[in-house]
Structure formats: C-alpha cells, structure tokens
Amino acid sequence: MKKIHIIGLGLLGGSFALALKKIKPEIKFTGFDADPKNQEDALALGIIDEGKSQPDEDTDVIILATPANTLGGLLTKTLDQIGPNTLVIDFGSTKENLCKTVADHPKRAQYLAGHPIAGTEYSGPKAAKADLLDQKVFIICEMELTDVQLKGLAYEIFEALNMKLRFMDAEEHDRHLAFVSHLSHVSSFMLGKTVLDKMEDEKSIFDMAGSGFASTVRLAKSSPAMWAPIMEENKNNMLKALSLYISNLSKFRDKIIEDDYEGLALEMQKINKIGDILDLGK
C-alpha cells in the first residue's frame, strides 16, 4: 500500500490520515476538500502531502468523508473512474440509501461500506486528532459484497489503527444509529434551543450552567453542515426515534402534572441501568 486519497478533509478524514501516517509513514496521502480553506489547512497540518481533485491512477485506497447527502453521487462517480485495483471506503453515518445506490454498479466489489464510531463536537481539519480512532468501533455493512483481496487491504488498515470491527446490514445500521447517535444530537440541539429561547441574557446561562448542562448540550456545538444531511438520509428512522422520544417526554411531563413523583423516581430508577450497560463513569 503506497497511496491513499481522501475526499473530505475534516475531522474524520483528517484524523484517519494523521493516525495512519504515524504508523505507516511511507504512505503518500493526497486529498481534496470542497472548501479551499480546509484543503489549505490540511496541507499545513501535514494531514495530506499534496492537494489534488483527482487521485493518481495507482492509488490503493480512496476514502470518502463528505456530508451524508453528498456520498451517493460521489461514490458512483468515484467507482466509475477508478481502476480495477483501487478500494473505495466511505465514512458516512448512514448506509442504507448509499448501499442501494451502488447495488448494481459493475464495480460494487471495490467498495466497502464503513462507519467509524468516533467524533467530537468540533469539525474541520484543525479538529483532527491522531488518536481519535484508536480502539474505536468501525462498522462494516454488506461485508460479503466487497472483493476478498481488497477487503484484506481494508483489514490491514483497521488493524494498524487499532479499531474494533463490527458487521451488520445497512438497514440495521441506520435503524440503530438513529437511536444511539442521531437522536442524541437532536436532543442536544433542542435543549440548547430551549434554553436560548427562554434565557435572553447569555451571561446568566454561563453563570448558572453546571457540568450536567454542559455535558448534555455539548453536541449542540456540532456542525449543522454535517448533521442536517444525516437527518435527510436517515429520515424515516429519525421520525420513528423522535416520535418515541416525544412520547416519553410527554409521559414524563404528565407525571409532574399529576404530582406523581414516586412514579417519576421509579421510572428514573429503571433508566439508571443504562449506566451499567455503557459502563458510564468507570
């Protein structure tokens, strides 16, 4: 493996390059970003060695790390143009529509549908960190559709980055991520909106907000340019998740209206088990 090309030089694409450069410094990284400033920063930060809109013909791996609603067209175009020995991996947060888009593409076997479960509330190449992917889960969808030899190349990369592989189908991926990732971002954004709508004095928010509020609203600093496309691509699953969430909020409110604080305490006690499942605080 000698050359990797990255399209989308933000948090994930940048962190991927920084990590692999430390482990395999012999690899040449080229890259492109639709935002010229991001591409300029990626060069300055050493994320890529050269900026270019098209990968070299002998590029081994192409990483697609752009917003979710751009990936379908970009993936199709990339598969159309690559030679027979190049592997294309995407880092998108949604998978079902993407996999359907290229299901009948003659070069489908040169594509690996992936999703690194890693990130922060920050975006852009300056947010990239060499340790962001370390020991994180990497989900692969429709594993059986990727060429065996090219899949071996991908495994070599993930092993070098110390990532944990998980496998599932695309529909299952999007359904689960709607609840455990996408919904949490909506919740954080809406908590931020609720507080901003009610408290006009921003200094008061700063003075009174404790660590609980800060940790809960942290994701509200995430990039709308990334998250609005995720909601678009995962619309049906998001609507189901939101409907259930709104229903639970309404039931919680009703218990307060009814002065049923014993019921509230019991409900919260049941929910406490999420801490044991996730090992929170350990």
Rounded Cα distance between 246 and 119, Å, is 26
Per-residue pLDDT, averaged over 22-43, amounts to 97
Give residue 282's pLDDT band: very low, low, confident or very high (50, 70, 90): very low
Task: Give percent of the chain above pLDDT 70.
Answer: 94
User: Band of the pLDDT at 216, cuts 50, 70, 90?
Assistant: confident
Cβ distance 114 to 91 under 8 Å?
yes
* Residue 88 identity: V
At 209 the pLDDT is 66
| Per-residue pLDDT at 210 exceeds 80 | no
Q: How far apart are CA 199 and CA 28, in angstroms?
A: 51
Please report the pLDDT score of residue 204 as a whole number. 66
Q: What is the pLDDT of residue 50?
A: 97
Least confident of 10-24, 119-133, 186-200: 186-200
Instruction: Look at residue 253 and tell me whether its pLDDT is greater than 70.
Output: yes
Averaged pLDDT, 234-255: 97
Residue 174 confidence (pLDDT) above 90: yes
In tens, the pLDDT along 47-90 reads 999 999 999 999 999 999 999 999 999 999 999 999 999 999 99
Question: Structure tokens of 114?
Answer: 């992936």
| For range 140-160, the mean pLDDT | 96
Angle between helices 235-257 and 170-177 (to 10 degrees): 30
The whole-model pTM stands at: 0.89
pLDDT at 280 over 60: no
What is the reported pLDDT for 201? 64
- Structural Rg of the chain based on CA atoms: 21
Answer whether residue 235 shows pLDDT above 60: yes
pLDDT of res. 208: 65
Which domains are delineated in the chain? Answer: 3-168 (3.40.50.720), 173-278 (1.10.3660.10)
* Per-residue b or e along 218-236, where b marks 16 or more CB atoms closer than 10 Å to that residue's CB: ebbebeeebbebbbebbee
Q: Show the DSSP H helices in 24-144 as ranges.
A: 36-44, 71-81, 96-101
- On average, the pLDDT of the chain sits at 93
> pLDDT digits over 93-129, tens only?
999 999 999 999 999 999 999 999 998 888 999 999 9
